[in-house]
Amino acid sequence: MISLMKLNIIQYITLALLVCSTSLLSSCKDDDGHDAGSPVVVNRFYPTSGSAGTEILITGKNFSENPEDISVTLGNIPLKVLSCNMNNIMAIVPPKLGDGVLTVTVANREPVRTIEAFTYSFSAVVTTFAGSSNGEPGYQDGNGSEALFFFDGAKGDPAEDWRKGSICVDDAGNVYVGDCVNYCVRKITPDGTVTTLAGLAGNSGDIDGTGAQARFNGLYGMDCDAEGNIIMTDVFGWKIRKITPDGVVTTLGETSFEPWMLTVDKGNGDIFVSSNSGIYKWTKDGSTQISTGNFRGLALDKEGNLYGADQILNGIVKFKAGTWEAENLTGKGTAGYLNGAFEDALFTFPCDLAIDSNGDIYVAGNGSWNGGENLDQSIRLLDMTNRTVRLVAGGTQEGYVDANGSSAVFAGPQDLAVDKNGVIYVYDKKNNVIRKIVYE
C-alpha cells in the first residue's frame, strides 16, 4: 500500500514536470507575465507624430510587467520606457529622433516592427544673433543689432562681391567671424557683444601683429583648436595663419595650393585644408593630398573620419580615417534640392560643414560664388544614424526672416559653426548678419 502510494506520488510529480517541460515554450509564463511561447503582438501606437518629450502609447499583447524587459527603438535610437503592462507600453520621445517605424523587443526575443511610422517634429528657432536687422552693411562694434558687418559687396562695393567670409566657435561659446569686406576678424561673446579681435577695418594686407596691427586679405576659412586659438586660411597669400584669444596674429606657414576652407583635429592639432584642386593634410613642412577635386567645407568626427563638401559631385564625401578611402554619402553630380535618403538627396554647390556631438553633419547650402542665386538657401543635416538628409531651417527662397524651421529665410548661408551644446551659428552673407539656430 505504501509502495503504491509512493509510486503514485512519483508518477504525479513526473507527469507534472513532463507537462511543464513540454509546454514551457507555449504556456509557462515568467515572473513578469510574459509568455515565451506566445508571439509578441504590436497593434497600434498613439500619437504617430510629435517632438521631444512626447509620450507614446504602444498597444498590443504579451508584453511584460517589467520595463527592463522592453526595448523600443527607432533606427538605432532608443526611446525611454516609462511604464508597461501586458498590453501597453508607454515610452517617451528623445530629442532629434527622426522619422520611421518603431521596433519593440520584449525579453530579448525577435524584434517586432510597427506598421505605422512615427513622424518627428523638429524645432529650429532662427534669430539674428548679431548685425543689423535690415541687412545694412558697415562696420561697428556693439551688442546684437547695434553691430555692423560687411559681407555682401553688392550692397556697398560690388568689386568685392566675390569675397567669402568664415565663422567658428570655441568651447566657451565665443563666435569668431571673418568679416571679409572689412578685412578683420570679429568676436561675438555669448551675450551677443561684438568686438574686433584682429585687423583694421577697411585695410587689407598681409601683416602679422596684435589686434589692429595685423592685416588680412582673404578670410575664407577658420576653425578653433583645442586651446581656443583660431586657425585660418588667408587665401590670397596661400598661407595658414593663427590668432590667439588675445588677438596675436602669426603665420604658421605657406601652402603649395590655393587654400580655401579648413578644419582642425582638436585631438592632435592636425590641419586639413580644402582647395579647388583637392583636400590636403597640411603641415608647415609640407602637405599630403587626400583627394583631388573641388572642395569647400570640411569636418572631422570623433573617430578621425573626414567629410568634405564636393562642388563637382554636388554632395558630401566621407574619407575613412587613416586610409582616406572615399565614400560618396550624397550626390551624383546632379544639382538640385531634395531631402530624404542619402542616395536620393540633392544639393547645389554645398558650402561649409560642421559636426555635432552626435556625429551628425550640418551643411550650409549656398556655395555659389557670391552667395546669390542658388536652389539651396538652407541649413540641412545629414542624420548619420538613419542615413537621411533633413531640413533644419530655410529652404529654396532667398530673403530675411527670423522664424522656426522652414519658415525662416536666409540669403547666402555660406558658412556655419556648431557649439558644444548644439547651437548653430550661420554666416548669412547677403544679409550681412550672423544668425543663431536653437535646434531642439
Mean of the pLDDT values across residues 416-424? 97
Instruction: Encode pLDDT of 330-340 as tens digits.
Output: 998 999 999 99
For the entire predicted model, the pTM comes to: 0.84
pLDDT above 70: residue 13? no
Confidence tier at 157 by pLDDT (50, 70, 90): confident
Residues 6+ apart with CB under 8 A from 66: 32, 84
268 alpha-carbon distance from chain centroid: 22
pLDDT above 80: residue 427? yes
Mean of the pLDDT values across residues 402-417? 96
Q: Which residue has the higher pLDDT, 385 or 249?
A: 249
Instruction: Encode pLDDT of 48-90 as tens digits.
Output: 999 999 999 999 999 999 999 999 999 889 999 999 999 999 9
Question: What phi, psi does 44 have (nearest 5°)?
Answer: -135, 170
Judge if the upstream peptide bond of residue 67 is cis by omega within 30 degrees of 0: no
pLDDT above 80: residue 27? no
pLDDT above 50: residue 22? no
Instruction: Encode pLDDT of 200-235 as tens digits.
Output: 999 999 999 999 999 999 999 999 999 999 999 999
Measured CA to CA in angstroms, residue 137 lies from 38, 156, 360, 372 at distances of 70, 7, 33, 16
Question: What cell was used for 258?
Answer: 590655393
Confidence tier at 409 by pLDDT (50, 70, 90): very high
What class, spelled out in words, does domain 41-120 have in CATH? mainly beta
Mean of the pLDDT values across residues 396-406? 96
What pLDDT does 369 receive? 83
Mean of the pLDDT values across residues 129-151? 96
Element holding 9 (H helix, E strand): helix 2-22
Give bridge partners of residue 224 from the DSSP assignment. Answer: 230
How large a percentage of the chain has pLDDT more than 90?
83
Confidence tier at 29 by pLDDT (50, 70, 90): low
Radius of gyration of the CA atoms of the chain, in A: 28
In angstroms, the CA 98 to CA 118 distance is 8
Mean of the pLDDT values across residues 106-130? 95
What pLDDT does 17 receive? 38
Instruction: Encode pLDDT of 160-198 as tens digits.
Output: 888 999 999 999 999 999 999 999 999 999 999 999 999
In angstroms, the CA 391 to CA 187 distance is 28
DSSP state, 93?
Answer: P
Residues 6+ apart with CB under 8 A from 97: 52, 74, 77, 79, 118, 120
What pLDDT does 440 receive? 80
In angstroms, the CA 438 to CA 392 distance is 10
What pLDDT does 1 receive? 39
Which of 96, 140, 92 lies closest to 120 in space, CA to CA? 96
pLDDT above 80: residue 2? no
Q: Which fold has domain 132-439?
A: Neuraminidase (2.120.10)
Instruction: Encode pLDDT of 300-324 as tens digits.
Output: 999 999 999 999 999 999 999 999 9
Tell me the pLDDT of the chain averaged across its residues.
Answer: 91
Q: Is the dihedral of CA 343, 421, 310, 179 positive or negative?
A: positive
Surface-to-core class of residue 366, CB atoms within 10 Å of its CB (0-12 exposed, 13-18 middle, 19+ buried): buried
Measured CA to CA in angstroms, residue 186 lies from 20, 66, 197, 264, 415 at distances of 76, 56, 5, 20, 15
Q: What angle do CA 418, 421, 425 make, to 5 degrees?
A: 30
Confidence tier at 30 by pLDDT (50, 70, 90): low
Residues 6+ apart with CB under 8 A from 144: 128, 129, 130, 192
pLDDT above 50: residue 357? yes
Instruction: Please report the beta strands in 85-234, taking only residues with DSSP state E, as ranges in sequence order.
Output: 88-92, 100-106, 112-120, 124-130, 142-143, 166-169, 175-179, 184-188, 193-198, 209-210, 221-224, 230-234
Question: What cell was used for 408?
Answer: 525662416
Q: Is the dihedral of CA 29, 34, 40, 44 positive or negative?
A: positive
Q: Where are the domains of the chain?
A: 41-120, 132-439
